[in-house]
Amino acid sequence: MNSKQTKDDKMEKIISLCKRRGFIFPGSEIYGGLSGTWDYGHYGLALKNNIKNFWWKKFVDDREDMYGVDAAILMNQKVWQATGHVAGFSDPLVECEKCKKRFRTDTIADTKKCPDCGGKLGTEKQFNMLFKTNVGAIQDESSISYLRPETAQGMFVNYKNVIDSFHPKLPFGMAQIGKAFRNEIAPRDFIFRTREFEQMEIEYLIKPPKGDEWKSIFEEFKNEMIDFSKDIGLQEKHIHPIEIAEADRAFYSKRTIDIEFDFPFGQNELYGLAYRTDYDLKKQSESSGVPLEYLDEESKEKFTPHCIEPSFGLDRTILAVLSDAYTEDEMGGEVRTYLKLSPKVAPVKIAVFPLLKNKPELVKKAREVYGALKKEFGAVEFDDNGNIGKRYRRQDEIGTVWCVTIDFDTIEKDDTVTVRDRDSGKQERIKISELVSLIKQKMA
C-alpha cells in the first residue's frame, strides 16, 4: 500500500470512528447533508470543551494580563468595510465547463483541467467568502450585515470598552473563543476546512516598539503555542513552526509564523502567530471616527498600540488530536483500535463496570464507586452493556483512560477493584479507599 492510500485510509477510519462513537456527525444528515458542515455529538463536544477549557486556563486564567471578550457574531457592516473584507475577502475560483464543479485554483495542480472529470476549466474569477445577510424587517443597503469571517475584529472594536472598564496597563491582551464563518469554495478534509468553524484567539497589545522590542513577546507566544500543542497530546515530531516570507504574509504583518501539523492528508496549517502592528485599531478608528488610542498615565503620551496575535483553529485542533490519538495494535490476538488521548482532554477519564449486570450486589457496589469517582472527576461513565471484553473495546475507541471493574473479589474478599490502563491493557488491583488518590497521581 502506498503512502497516499495509507493516509487516506487513516482519515477514513477516523471519520468512521467519529460517527460510530458519537464524536462528530455530518451536518443535516437525514436530508442528505450540507457540504462543509459538521455536528458534534456527546463525546466530540466533551473533547471540544476540554480543549477550550484547557486553552482558557493556560492563556487567560493563569495570567494577569488577559481580558475575556465574547463579541456578537453579527456586526455593523462598516466593521468589515474598514478592514477590506467586503471589497477583497476572496479566493480564486474556477468552474469546470463539463461537470460544473468549482475549485480554488490555488489548490489544484492543473488550472486548465478538472481534477474530477478531466473537463476544461473556465476563466478564473474572484469569489467573496463573506456570508451576507440582512438585519431587521426591511432589506436594503442599510440593513446588510455579515456572519463574521474571523473573531479578531470583535476584540478590536471592543478595545475602547476594555480600556474604559478595566484601565489595563500595557502590555495586555484580549482573548476570545467563538464561531466564524466563511463561504468556502471547496470545503474538504473532514473538519479541517469548513464553512462554520471555531477560533481561539488573542489580540495582545503592546506599546509601539523601538527596534526589535516586540520580538521577545512574539517568541514567548510561539513557545507557549507549541507547549499547548504538546500538552493536549500532539506529538512534537508532527509540529512544524514555519516562517512565512514577506511576499506571502498579509501586507500589514511584520512577521508571521504558521505552526503546521502532519495531518493524515499532509502537512498543513494548524495555528498562526502574527505581528499585526497597529493596522486594525487604526483602520477601525479611521472608519468609526472614534479615537482608539492609549494614554500612558506616566508619560502622558497618546499612541495606537501594536498587536501580536496568536490564533488557534479549534476544529483543526480537534482533528490534530484525533489524528495523533488514533492507534491500532494487537491485543488478545485481535486488532484493537483505540484513541490514545491525553487525560487532560479525554471526554471520559474513567469508566466503571460491574463484572456482571445481572448480579445486584455487583451493580450496587459499582454504582457506589461510580458515584464517588463521578463526584471527584466529573468525566466518569457507568457501563454495563455487553460482556467485559466488548466494554473494554468500546471504551478504548472512546479514548477512556482507565476502566474500573467491580468483581466478586471486591464484594467477598478485600474491597479492591481492578484498574485497567487503556494504552497497555495492564490491570492492577487497588483498594477502593485508594482509588481517587491513585487516579489523581496518574493524571498529574
- Dihedrals φ, ψ of 356, to 5°? -130, 135
Residues 307 and 414 in one domain: no
- pLDDT value at residue 145: 97
- pLDDT value at residue 2: 46
- pLDDT value at residue 92: 86
pLDDT in tens, 302-328: 999 999 999 999 999 999 999 999 999
Mean pLDDT along residues 85-104 = 87
* Mean pLDDT of the residues in the chain: 95
CATH code (residue 404): 3.40.50.800
Q: Is residue 297 part of a domain?
A: yes
Q: Terminal CA-to-CA distance of the chain, rounded, Å?
A: 40
Q: Is residue 126 part of a domain?
A: no
CATH code (residue 294): 3.30.930.10
Of 323, 338, 362, the position where a domain reaches its end is 323
Residues 6+ apart with CB under 8 A from 164: none
Q: Give me the number of domains the chain comprises.
A: 2
Cα gap 368→379, rounded to integer Å: 16
Q: Is residue 127 part of a domain?
A: no
Q: Residue written as cell 468556502?
A: 184
pLDDT in tens, 158-210: 999 999 999 999 999 999 999 999 999 889 999 999 999 999 999 999 999 99
Mean pLDDT along residues 402-407 = 98
Residues 155 and 49 in one domain: yes
- Percent of the chain exceeding pLDDT 90 equals 88
pLDDT confidence tier of residue 7, bands split at 50, 70 and 90: low
Residues 360 and 404 in one domain: yes
Residues 237 and 374 in one domain: no
| β-bridge partners, 188 | 193
pLDDT confidence tier of residue 372, bands split at 50, 70 and 90: very high
Residues 353 and 291 in one domain: no
pLDDT confidence tier of residue 3, bands split at 50, 70 and 90: very low
Residues 389 and 312 in one domain: no
- pLDDT value at residue 6: 63
pLDDT confidence tier of residue 88, bands split at 50, 70 and 90: confident
- pLDDT value at residue 182: 96
Q: Is residue 337 part of a domain?
A: no
Residues 250 and 310 in one domain: yes
pLDDT in tens, 330-353: 998 899 999 999 999 999 999 999
Q: Is residue 113 part of a domain?
A: no
Within a 13 Å sphere around the CA of 119, how many CA atoms are in the beta-carbon half?
14
Cα gap 47→317, rounded to integer Å: 10
Q: Is residue 432 part of a domain?
A: yes
| Residue of higher predicted confidence among 126 and 222 | 222
- pLDDT value at residue 93: 87
Residues 302 and 211 in one domain: yes
Q: Is residue 111 part of a domain?
A: no
Residue 387 is part of which domain span?
348-443
pLDDT in tens, 216-253: 999 999 999 999 999 999 999 999 999 999 999 999 99
Q: Residue written as cell 512534537?
A: 236
Residues 416 and 273 in one domain: no
- pLDDT value at residue 100: 87
Residues 6+ apart with CB under 8 A from 354: 362, 363, 365, 366, 384, 405, 406
Torsion angle in degrees (nearest 10) through CA of 143, 148, 149, 153 = 110
Residues 293 and 391 in one domain: no
Residues 286 and 377 in one domain: no
Three-state secondary structure of the chain? CCHHHHHHHHHHHHHHHHHHCCCEEECCHHHCCCCCCEEECHHHHHHHHHHHHHHHHHHHHCCCCEEECCCCCEEEHHHHHHHCHHHHCEEEEEEECCCCCEEEHHHCCCCCECCCCCCEECCCEEEECCEEEECCCCCCHHHEEEECCCCHHHHHCCHHHHHHHHCCCCCEEEEEEEEEECCCCCCECCCCECCEEEEEEEEEEECCCCCCCCHHHHHHHHHHHHHHHHHCCCCHHHEEEEECCCCCCCCCCCEEEEEEEEECCEEEEEEEEEEEECHHHHHHHHHHCCCCCEECCCCCCEECCEEEEEEEEHHHHHHHHHHHHEEEEEECCEEEEEECCCCCCCCCCEEEEECCCCCHHHHHHHHHHHHHHHHHHCCEEECCCCCHHHHHHHHHHHCCCEEEEECHHHHHHHCEEEEEECCCCCEEEEEHHHHHHHHHHHHC
Of 259, 288, 323, the position where a domain reaches its end is 323
Q: Is residue 134 part of a domain?
A: no
Is-contact 71 159, C-beta < 8 A?
no
Residues 299 and 365 in one domain: no
- Percent of the chain exceeding pLDDT 70 equals 98
